[in-house]
Amino acid sequence: MHEFKYINKHLYCERVRVADLAKKFGTPLYVYSYHTLIDHFAKLKDAFRQVSPLICYSVKANSNLALLKALVNKGAGLDIVSGGELFRALRVGCPAKKIVYASVGKTDEEIEEAVKRGILFFNVESLPELENINRISGKLNKTTSVAIRINPDVEAKTHKFITTGKITNKFGIDLKSAYNILLLREKFRNIRISGLHIHIGSQITKSTPYLAAITRIVGFIGRLKKEGIELEYLNIGGGLGIIYDNEKPQTAVKYARKILPLLKKAGLKIIMEPGRFIAGNSGILVTRVLYVKNTPKKKFVIVDAGMNDLIRPALYGAYHQILPLCAERYTPNAAEKVDIVGPICESGDFFAKERRLPKLKEGDFLAVMGAGAYGFSMSSNYNSRRRAEEALVVKDKVFVIRKRESCRDLIRNELIPPFLSGW
């Protein structure tokens, strides 16, 4: 559930009319509901209370400082994948011992900074990375905790670009190689292998892939225990899906009911890394209709937001529900098929194709729903477009949590060599 609802045919975020925000701040505009964000975190925490997990929100889903701070204030840890995300995590006051660090390509500088900060552990993706963390930790005279990311070779049944648990993906270490690493763990004098990690993909709506992956890992943990290899943590990753179209994703309660017996059997401290499940339905992208273009084959509704603001439809063919901020003119009989497209100079710049929507006119505002995760965090300045403003709604109060970029922001790090200016 989320806090975006029609009241008297006007779309509201909590107690604020979204059209008023569009008129005040301009568009494109991201709008977030504080209570939706916090409620989804609380639901997951409550569903798994029997194992008291450390829930490390996945920063890559949406890294705005205000949203991170809101979750950290409620007890969340953070799952990071870069030095920049470490900087953000520390900036909002996340305790270092609540930070876990993934990514297949951590640089020496990123590893060194995280070691110095004393994060909970790295999720290690390869033997060369493990050797590198050991080397850097030795140089710093530190002992660093890591979890081995296991690739369980499980089909996640999601889009191929966001599947991460098959053996053909770049992520993780196969079980046989992981076992051999654990047998040689004493070789790594500045490393403490304290856990195992899995993450099989994103926008997963069924429990079957999780059950398969976790069952495989729990069996592996049992084998290790018999051989005297003790671990402290099991990190089951994230990837829980949300409703974009007609999906029927599992609720937190149903998901917990299925996998809690396995987690209890593992007998380890549990870590989770949800991102989309927490942030996805907490945000929308508001855009304004610029032109309505009729052609012999199609009707195009051209809006002022583009694939640089929300790339998921162009990148994945992802579906997002699109709603008018004002539904006064809407009747089922008045709906027509249109393509909702942006201003970017790419044919792939679209939000919806052949979508039935009420008859739209220039100046109308639309909401692209379910844009709280992998929306702004994947946005860019392509076509030298300024990135959107972001606003957070808390009941009847509104806070700007990111200002719209200026044209000066677009060029602030660019330099023209003197010889091009006549010395």
Percent of the chain predicted with pLDDT > 70 = 91
Phi, psi of 37 (to 5 degrees): -60, -50
Contact 96, 90 (CB under 8 A): yes
Helical packing angle, 127-139 and 108-117, nearest 10°: 60
Question: What residue segments make up the domains of the chain, in order of their start?
Answer: 4-31+280-405, 103-272
What are the Cα distances from residue 126, in Å, to 56, 147, 321? Answer: 22, 11, 39
Please give the pLDDT value at position 171.
Answer: 67
Please give the pLDDT value at position 352.
Answer: 97
Mean pLDDT of the chain: 91
Q: What is the DSSP letter of 227?
A: T
Q: Hey, which residues are catalytic here?
A: 345
pLDDT average, residue stretch 269-279: 94
The distance in angstroms from the start CA to the end CA of the chain is 61
pLDDT tier for residue 252 given thresholds of 50, 70 and 90: confident
Phi, psi of 403 (to 5 degrees): -75, 150
What are the Cα distances from residue 335, in Å, to 80, 147, 254, 331, 351? Answer: 43, 53, 36, 7, 17
The lowest-confidence range among 58-62, 221-225, 362-366 is 221-225
Query: 323 vs 421, which has greater pLDDT?
Result: 323
Strand, coil or helix: what is 248? coil
Q: Which CATH architecture has domain 103-272?
A: Alpha-Beta Barrel (3.20)
H helix and E strand count, the chain: 12, 20
Please give the pLDDT value at position 169.
Answer: 60
Amino acid (one-letter) located at 407:
C
Amino acid (one-letter) located at 31:
V
Phi, psi of 222 (to 5 degrees): -60, -40
- Is the pLDDT score of 109 beyond 60? yes
The lowest-confidence range among 14-18, 179-183, 413-417 is 179-183
CATH fold, domain 4-31+280-405, is Lyase, Ornithine Decarboxylase; Chain A, domain 1 (2.40.37)
Tokens of 271: 């870590």
pLDDT average, residue stretch 85-98: 98
Percent of the chain predicted with pLDDT > 90 = 77
Please give the pLDDT value at position 172.
Answer: 76
Residue from 214, 327, 304 nearest 26 by CA: 304
pLDDT digits (tens, 9 = 90+) for 309-357: 999 999 989 999 999 999 887 776 778 999 999 999 999 999 999 999 9
What are the Cα distances from residue 405, in Å, to 65, 148, 317, 384, 389? Answer: 16, 40, 27, 11, 7
Q: What is the DSSP letter of 103?
A: -
- Burial tier of 73 (Cβ tally within 10 Å: 0-12, 13-18, 19+): exposed
Using a CB cutoff of 8 Å and minimum separation of 24, what contacts does 123-128 make?
123/147, 123/149, 123/197, 123/235, 124/148, 124/149, 124/173, 125/149, 125/171, 125/172, 125/173, 126/173, 127/173, 127/177, 127/181
Strand partners, 148: 124, 196
Tokens of 310: 């929300």
Cβ count within 10 A of residue 221? 20
Give the number of residues written for the chain: 423
- Burial tier of 420 (Cβ tally within 10 Å: 0-12, 13-18, 19+): exposed
Please give the pLDDT value at position 162.
Answer: 39
Contact 281, 317 (CB under 8 A): no
Please give the pLDDT value at position 54.
Answer: 97
Question: What is the gyration radius of the CA atoms in the chain, in angstroms?
Answer: 23
Q: Which residue has the tokens 């790295």?
A: 122
- Is the pLDDT score of 245 beyond 70? no
Residue from 62, 53, 40 nearest 249 by CA: 40
Strand, coil or helix: what is 202? coil
pLDDT average, residue stretch 61-86: 98
pLDDT digits (tens, 9 = 90+) for 153-195: 665 444 444 344 344 566 678 888 998 999 999 999 999 999 9
pLDDT tier for residue 244 given thresholds of 50, 70 and 90: confident
